[in-house]
A and B are shown apart, each in its own frame.
Chain A
Amino acid sequence: MSATPPLLQATGLSVGFPVRGGLLRREVARLPAIDRVDLALDAGEVLGIVGESGCGKTTLGRALVGLVEPDGGTLRVEGRDVATLSREERRALTRDVQMVFQDPFASLNPRKRVRRILALPFEAHGLAADEARLRELVELVGLAPEHLDRWPHELSGGQRQRVGIARALALRPRVLVLDEPLSALDMSIQSQVLNLLAGLQERLGLGYVFISHDLAVVEWLCDRVAVMYLGRVVESAPAAALFASPRHPYTQALLAAIPDPVPRRDRANRPLEGDVPSPLHRPAGCAFHTRCPLAQPRCRESEPELRRVGETGAHVAACHLL
């Protein structure tokens, strides 16, 4: 008997978007948003996905909840390949993986009261939303039963994001994919929502895929972190190992760029130069070589694979120089 399969597992997952051109708007190229991504999430585990804009972290999140179709690779939920399932089986399985979106202003229907917003997931799955469960949901996220009768515009940003979290929790999922759930919120509200997410994860034993550009928050919340660059995972490690000893030059540059909350007399630093290249013109070899301070000739020629770099197999990085 083998060990329990991961709750959520992507193997060689790729997603591309069509680039259209010409008179007939035909697909002239394919923009690879994520490219052969492997990742696994165990029950109750919190995995952070970090990287700069355009690295594919949002597309990865959307692929994990089935909002975009992969071009290749497999996605398994509780060990079952999603692509081989019937529609009904798929629907049942996707109840277990729910999403919290970035913008609580855009992700709630302004023409529905909170009660309706929270009842919709039940109806979508042919279930009845009873009042007791709706009350339980709002209380779970720190709102009061009277908030059920409010319109989204009557709520603050923090309260709206709480509604977004309650909606994701409605069907008792086992995994939440959270795409930048704090970045539209004021600083003083972010820590409230972060505390809420931490408490829910611990109380309900949830698994999180936590997509964020905010590395201090990722370090605080996550058990494990995957760093993405131009659609690929370049390093993955337990959070403590990644922040204490980042191995990939990109991870090192990313951590060095976190603004230091302590003011200094001498502010000279050497930020990473240049911009992330367009995924349409992905550099040959290691995609990071155009910005890497350590790049060697072979980095331009062959693409490094993820391999073990730490004391345990849990720390992997894709760099020729390690």
Chain B
Amino acid sequence: MSAPPLLEIDGLVASFRTPRGPVRAVDGVSLRVERGQTVCIAGESGCGKSVTAMSVMGLLPEAARVEAGAIRLRGADLLALPPAERRGLRGGAMAMVFQESMTALNPVLTVGAQVAEAFAIHATATRREARERAIALLRQVRIADPERCAGEYPHQLSGGMKQRVMIALALANRPELLIADEPTTALDVTIQAQVLQLLREQQRERGTGIVFVTHDLAVVAGIADRVVVMVAGRVVEEGSVFDVLERPAHPYTVGLLRARPRPGQTRRGGARLEAIPGAVPSADERIEGCRYQARCPRAQARCRTDAPALARVTTAGADAGSDHLAACHFPEGGLS
């Protein structure tokens, strides 16, 4: 039997307690990440992408809990671990980069102290060693003057610098798995390009597996190996970045890609974008059948009663043996 994947999420169900009863934010999500691979979880607000990421880290808010499913790191079920052991994995075997670097960094500690602390908790390093390693790590994440940066407080740094420091913190103990939740969303495009490049470089050097959560399909194109697209708590499409973005099968993915203006496209002559109609479904809506049917241009009677399961699809131009799945009764290209 082959070695288990680095990360395997199997039938994850997570829900929030609300005054109106439990709301399922994640409803049966499965995915796997191999060593050195980047899997993007893409979707709009409330689709469950961040809740999935937080479930892996064991950082769900108080009101949320995992109801069912398994999360395995190298085959070991994280949900079955005692809390102390799970805590030991965070910042060690698995680490996280958050969107809000201003709130995720400690405002009263210098950058150097925070990075050094990450070493000290998980390894037996002296203070001096930890400081030297912190500076070396800041240099690796391309901070121009790492000695100076180590002595500064987070508020003295720009958004891009803070995000580099967060990546340094996350990489401090050479995690096998990195969870990045919208790490470039608050950044300008030129800085976003720098941060994506940095993540790709570090991954190449270290063989880290990355789960990258984003709402931006153009960012997906720049970083993903595989893509998981979510709607209202469920995976609606999964495949290689080429299959999903160049040969999308689910009407939602197709719609999202068509709705964005492409380079060179203008409204001259009264042209309009092909917008997806309707509103983004909220997590607490109970939807019978397919979660996307209310907005779907292809929806039929069956879509309103019968929830489609993920199934292999065929799309023209796909690589032989590519694993391309969609949860749709009438996918682009058809079911195989």
Q: In whole Å, how far is B49's beta carbon from the nearest beta carbon of chain A?
A: 12
Counting CB contacts under 8 A, is B64 at the interface?
no
Residue pair B44, A187 in contact (C-beta under 8 Å): yes
* Distance (whole angstroms) from the CB of B136 to the closest CB of chain A: 20
- Residues from chain A with a CB closer than 8 A to the CB of B73 are none
In the complex the two chains form, is A263's CB within 8 Å of B221's CB?
Answer: yes
| B256, A188: Cβ atoms closer than 8 Å | yes
Q: Are B259 and A259 in contact (CB under 8 A)?
A: no
Is A284 an interface position by the 8 A CB rule? no
Q: From A239, A259, A263, A269, give the contact of B216 (CB < 8 A).
A: A259
Using an 8 Å CB-CB cutoff, how does the interface string of B243-268 with A read, 1 for contact, 0 for none? 00110000000011101111111110
| Alpha-carbon separation in the docked complex, A199 to B272 (Å) | 9
> Mind listing 24 A-B residue pairs with CB under 8 Å?
A158-B279, A159-B279, A187-B215, A187-B216, A187-B217, A187-B259, A188-B44, A188-B259, A189-B280, A190-B259, A191-B274, A192-B276, A194-B275, A195-B272, A213-B189, A219-B263, A221-B267, A253-B190, A259-B222, A261-B221, A261-B262, A271-B190, A271-B194, A273-B194
Q: Mark contacts of B263-293 with chain A using CB atoms, 8 A cut-off: 1 yes-contact digit, 0 otherwise.
A: 1111100101111110110000000000000
**Contact call A275/B259, Cβ cutoff below 8 A:** no
In the complex, what residues of B have CB within 8 A of residue A257's CB? 189-190, 192-193
Interface residues of B in 182-239 (CB under 8 A from A): 188-194, 196-197, 200, 215-224
Chain A contact residues, majority secondary structure:
helix
The reply on A292 being an interface residue by CB < 8 A is no
With A158-B279, A260-B222, A267-B200 as known contacts, state yes or no: A219 contacts B266, CB within 8 Å: yes
The 10 closest A-B pairs by CB, nearest first: A259-B218, A271-B193, A220-B261, A191-B259, A191-B275, A52-B188, A188-B276, A186-B44, A191-B273, A257-B189
Q: Which residues of B contact A261 (CB under 8 A)?
A: 217-218, 221, 245, 257, 260, 262
Residue ranges of A at the interface with B (Cβ–Cβ < 8 Å): 52-53, 156-159, 186-192, 194-195, 198-199, 202, 213, 215-217, 219-221, 239-240, 243, 253-254, 257-264, 267, 269, 271-276
Interface residues of B in 95-154 (CB under 8 A from A): 144
Given contacts A187-B216, A202-B270, 12 further A-B contacts (CB under 8 A): A52-B189, A52-B190, A52-B191, A188-B259, A188-B275, A191-B261, A191-B275, A219-B266, A221-B267, A261-B221, A262-B246, A271-B197
Does B45 touch A at the CB level, under 8 Å? yes
Q: In the bound complex, what is the Cα–Cα distance between A274 and B143 (angstroms)?
A: 9
Q: Is the CB of B194 within 8 A of A220?
A: no
Interface residues of B, count at CB 8 A:
53
- Please indicate the chain B residues that have their CB under 8 angstroms from the CB of A260 in the complex: 218, 221-222
Which of A159, A259, A260, A272 has the most chain B CB atoms closer than 10 A to its own CB?
A: A259
Task: Compute how far the CA of A263 lies from the CA of B223 in the bound complex, rounded to whole angstroms.
Answer: 8
In the complex the two chains form, is A186's CB within 8 Å of B246's CB? no
Instruction: Kindly list chain A residues whose C-beta atoms are within 8 Å of the C-beta of B279.
Output: 156, 158-159, 189
Q: Which residue of B lies closest to A261 (CB)?
A: B218
* Cβ-defined contact, B192 with A259, below 8 A: yes
Chain B contacts of A258 at CB under 8 A? Answer: 189, 218, 263
A275 with B44: in contact, given A188-B276, A262-B245 (CB under 8 Å)?
A: no
Q: What A residues does B220 contact at CB under 8 A?
A: 263
Expressed in whole angstroms, the minimum distance between the Cβ of B10 and any Cβ of chain A is 27
Q: Using Cβ atoms and an 8 Å threshold, which residues of chain B touch A262?
A: 221, 245-246
Distance between Cα atoms of A257 and B280 in the complex (Å) = 29
State whether the Cβ of B158 lies closer than 8 Å to any Cβ in chain A: yes
Q: Given the complex of chains A and B, what is the CA–CA distance between A285 and B193 in angstroms?
A: 27
* B242 interface residue per 8 A CB criterion: yes
- For residue B39, CB closer than 8 A to chain A, the reply is no
Given the complex of chains A and B, what is the CA–CA distance between A181 and B172 in angstroms? 39
CA distance A260 to B160 in the complex (A): 20
